Structure 1
């Protein structure tokens, strides 16, 4: 049974309490807030033969089959490899499933995550099933970046926003999920995760604070000319590229904010405040804006799974970052 998160209680009651269900839902919102778990709970509820109120009973034949991963009327579609695209052949398998008759005589339920991982051909292959799914079929689509979806996909679904929990709810949950961490560490993790509590827990498990310390130390040495571009790019090559670009995008945004407001309380986490302030004072605003544009453009390529040379991309990033101070 998927975990029920406290911040989803109202949304769960709204969705599970429906007497009639749409043929397709698009659950969208930031990564790390439990959308997949919400979809799995709803999938279990829709397939259950003897629902217990708003939840699946967990005891009927359908629930046992689902728990074993052998339910014949359930189809889960996700990338074959992490961070890879969902291929058109995978979607064709889904389409073949949708047109079949439910073997247990109830609903068929499809869970697809993340929707944005589909390439154009795969997304187009899904449209017919989204518009007119055969029989009593419900498609549950989960998206972390709905802006990347085709309008034709979004328009065929009931769109359900899944908002971030507030900071207090997130910190309360993290206190239980990470009892070995102190409050300051949990707050830092939540900030690094953009307010997403599940992402904060995952970052802690991945050792993100140690990775962050390594990157911050490298940035400081780069600006003091104590470390070279190639050396740093080599030492960071095993880190997630999107995480690095997120940090540099954030630091650039903080620099621009400080240049406009001179608000020292808005300089971000303590580990980079002095660096952000120094660069904001030393770098012309047009260079910071150009840096931000470049970072956002490259970040989009990383998100789009473009075939990039990671080492060269990191070196290009560091060359531009080192050149920020001074006229230009």
Structure 2
């Protein structure tokens, strides 16, 4: 059974305790807060033949089949490869599943995650099933970026906003999930994960603190002209592209913030505070805004899975970063 996170308790009671369910739910919120786990938990509850209150029993035929990954009335739709789109042919398979009769005589439940991975054609192929699913079918859509969804998708679902846990809840959970780290290290991870505790654990498993140290050291050498953009682009080959653009986007924001407020408490994590302060003092605000606009534009392309030349893109990123220090 999917893990039940403490910050989801109130929403879970409200959602799973219903006597009647909508034909489609859109669970949305920041990535890394447990939306997929909640959807899987609800899927188990909806398919269970002998539910125990708001949870699945875990022992009936339906629960055992679901646990074994062989439930005939359950369909999970997700990208075939990580960071790839959901294809229209995959959605057509889902549509074929929806029109079938439930083999165990109960509900059919579909889980789609992340919904924004569907392109326009795939989204349009889903609309009929979303509007009028056959039989007693419930569709559970999970989205980390609902703003990227077609309005026609969102309007056909009952939207369920999944709130981010409080700082105290995240810290308490991380202390259990990552006991080998000290409080400072866990707080740094949580900052890098934008407050999402599950994302913090995922980043730790990817070696994000080592990657961050490599990148920050590289930025410092770039400013001192000890390394070139092309050298750093090669050295950062194993750092996820979106992570890099997230960091540079955040740093440009911190530079602008400091230029406007001179607040030294708002310089971000310790590893880049002096650099942020230096760039804020040496750069024209108009130039920083231009660089930030370019970074945001490229980040959107990376997020949209555009076919980009990684090395050339990183060289351009670092060249733009150096432009903040240009005297003209």
Q: TM-score, normalised by structure 1?
A: 0.99
Per-residue Cα deviation, 1:176-224 (whole angstroms, up to 9, x for no partner): 0000000000000000000000000111111100000000000000000
TM superposition shift of 1:324: 1.0
Once superposed, which parts of structure 1, at least 4 consecutive aligned residues long, lie more than 4 Å away? Answer: none
Quote the Cα distance in structure 2 between the aligned partners of 1:326 and 1:126. Answer: 50
TM superposition shift of 1:326: 3.7
Aligned to 2:202: 202
Aligned to 1:230: 230
3-state SS, counterpart of residue 242 of structure 1: helix
Per-residue Cα deviation, 1:117-156 (whole angstroms, up to 9, x for no partner): 0011000000000000000000000000001000000010
3-state SS, counterpart of residue 4 of structure 2: coil
Would the aligned equivalents of 2:287 and 2:323 in 1 still touch at CA under 8 Å? no
Per-residue Cα deviation, 1:56-99 (whole angstroms, up to 9, x for no partner): 00000000000000000000000000000000000000000000
Alignment of 1:119-130 (within 5 A): 119-130=119-130
Would the aligned equivalents of 1:170 and 1:196 in 2 still touch at CA under 8 Å? yes
Quote the Cα distance in structure 1 between the aligned partners of 2:182 and 2:159. Answer: 37
Quote the Cα distance in structure 2 between the aligned partners of 1:43 and 1:290. Answer: 46
Aligned to 2:289: 289
TM superposition shift of 1:42: 0.1
Q: Over aligned residues, Cα RMSD in angstroms?
A: 0.6
Quote the Cα distance in structure 2 between the aligned partners of 1:287 and 1:30. Answer: 31
Are 1:144 and 2:136 counterparts? Answer: no
Q: TM-score, normalised by structure 2?
A: 0.99
Quote the Cα distance in structure 2 between the aligned partners of 1:298 and 1:326. Answer: 21
Would the aligned equivalents of 1:284 and 1:326 in 2 still touch at CA under 8 Å? no
Quote the Cα distance in structure 2 between the aligned partners of 1:86 and 1:73. Answer: 21
Quote the Cα distance in structure 1 between the aligned partners of 2:27 and 2:290. Answer: 35
Aligned to 2:188: 188
Are 1:248 and 2:248 counterparts? Answer: yes
Would the aligned equivalents of 1:282 and 1:326 in 2 still touch at CA under 8 Å? no
3-state SS, counterpart of residue 165 of structure 2: coil
Per-residue Cα deviation, 1:200-252 (whole angstroms, up to 9, x for no partner): 01111111000000000000000000111111000112211000000000000
Would the aligned equivalents of 1:123 and 1:153 in 2 still touch at CA under 8 Å? yes
